[in-house]
Amino acid sequence: METNDPNDFITLLFLLGHPIVHLKAVTIVPESREVLDGSDVLLTYCDEKTILICGGPLKNVAKAIQTGRFKLGRLVVQGGFAGDNIVP
């Protein structure tokens, strides 16, 4: 989740208010000095029932997978960003 991005904030509010969503973690860039390693967060909070939604690079997911201990139910990934004011 980027700071200063209203779309990300609105999505977060939607998820927080949804009756079947059990939000476990949100990552925000830029990192702070007290940052936890993203792969450690994934290894701690994800299991076979988890749906992980990613809107950025998958470096933390890759690092978690490489441990051989990462469990996940479903991965949803944003396809990319074409630029501002582009309407198909």
H helices of the chain, where? 6-17, 38-45, 59-66
Q: What is the pTM of this model?
A: 0.69
**pLDDT in tens for each of the 88 residues of the chain?**
555 667 777 888 888 999 998 888 877 666 667 777 889 999 999 999 999 988 778 899 999 999 999 999 999 887 666 666 666 6
Contact 23, 50 (CB under 8 A): no
DSSP string covering 53-86, please?
EE-S--HHHHHHHHTT----SEEEE------TT-
